[in-house]
Amino acid sequence: MQGRRLPLRVATLLTGLLECLGFAGVLFGWASLVFVFKTEHYFEELCEPNARLMGNATGLDDCKAQDERFSLIFTLASFMNNFMTFPTGYIFDRFKTTVARLIAIFLYTSATLTIAFTSADSAVLLFLAMPMLTVGGILFLITNLQIGNLFGKQRSTIITMYNGAFDSSSSVFLIIKLLYEQGISLRASFIFISVCSAWHVGRTFLLMPRGHIPYPLPPNYSYGLCSGDGPGEEEKKTVESQKLELSEEFISPKKVSTYTNAFAITQFFGVLCAPWNGLLMDRLKYKYQEEARKTEHFGKLFGLVMALSAVVSLLQFPIFTLIKGPLQNDPFCVNVMLALVTLLTFVHPFLVYRECWQKESTPGVA
């Protein structure tokens, strides 16, 4: 019986990975898409006349207001990506997988169609489309993370692999940019992405549970094509990293395009690096598994963490303005400050280690 279910589970795993890799976190390839938008003259009316004549893809001071408009869209969308994870996590916990995924598909398709049919004259619609796109994407990620529960000892590896795919999906906008440079219109690319919603719907009903995938997995558990979802409690939290928008220098549009490509390619390697964290977790012993299975609220915990990080993401726009203004395009001080703040994250594993050590030292204390 277990062997007969394995092909279905592998299909769920692979298609979920493809979904995260191709759709979930495309927002973070924003720098590539901005290059296309500038070529299509989005928000060009904010540039000074002489900058319009020279071409606004070079990031000249005369197009500073245009750059800030794009930065504001990204800041708003990345804030919604994190902040809305808490309510969407609640929706996932309360109404389960099918409802959460149908909401995700509606938001995502609406966003891609909106982007497909915008133009320079209706560029303001990006303020609506990008947040919808990112909220739909994070719901795709949340509903797919539970797939790790199907594979027992490899659970953490799969979860981190999905988070890596979420990061690497930023390369989708790089692909759109490269296709655009080969003559494929922005509209055609986003219409194609919209048509892929039929695939999302099919996967929702054929390869995903109607409810939640429990952990630990009960005997004879079936879902999707096999029907008969089993209700269960959800699991652990995984935290994914956010990225700042690529700042453009005073260089030629040729070089801007090259650096944008390099940035997007670097982001792609998230899918290769992230699974190592999960592999390490899978190799360790879970000493508090019995307690965890009684109290897990995965969607709400994951959403709360992301909502808190959304507050921090709001700093992106003032930091961008600071670099473009008082710092005169010199990000050195900001980079030093961010490096110091990043070092503070090492405090967390130390606190976790101390907590576990204290519990081991006093086994009689609940």
Closest CA relative to residue 292, chosen from 350, 234, 239, 349:
234
Report CA-CA distances (Å) from 93 to 7, 188, 258, 301.
Answer: 27, 36, 43, 10
The pLDDT tens digits for 15-40 are 999 999 999 999 989 999 999 999 99
Q: List all residues 6 or more positions away from 214 whose beta carbon is below 8 Å from its beta carbon.
A: 149, 221, 230, 231, 232, 233
Cα dihedral 271, 274, 278, 280, rounded to 10, equals: 130
Q: Give residue-wise pLDDT tens across range 155-178.
A: 888 888 898 899 889 899 999 999
What is the percent of the chain with per-residue pLDDT over 90, rounded to a whole number?
Answer: 40
> Can you give the pLDDT at residue 249?
40
- Confidence (pLDDT) at 5: 80
pLDDT at 275 over 90: no
Could you read off the pLDDT of 174-222 as tens digits, one per residue?
999 999 999 999 999 999 999 999 999 999 999 999 999 988 888 888 8
Asked whether the bond before 216 is cis by omega within 30 degrees of 0, the reply is yes
Has domain 3-45+63-210+257-288+295-315 been given CATH number 1.20.1250.20? Answer: yes
pTM of the predicted protein model: 0.67
Domain residue spans of the chain: 3-45+63-210+257-288+295-315
Q: What tokens appear for 316 in the block? A: 């992106």
What's the pLDDT score for residue 282?
63
What pLDDT, on the 0 to 100 scale, is given for residue 256?
62
Instruction: Express each pLDDT in 86-107 by its tens digit.
Output: 888 889 989 999 999 999 999 9
Average pLDDT of every residue of the chain: 80
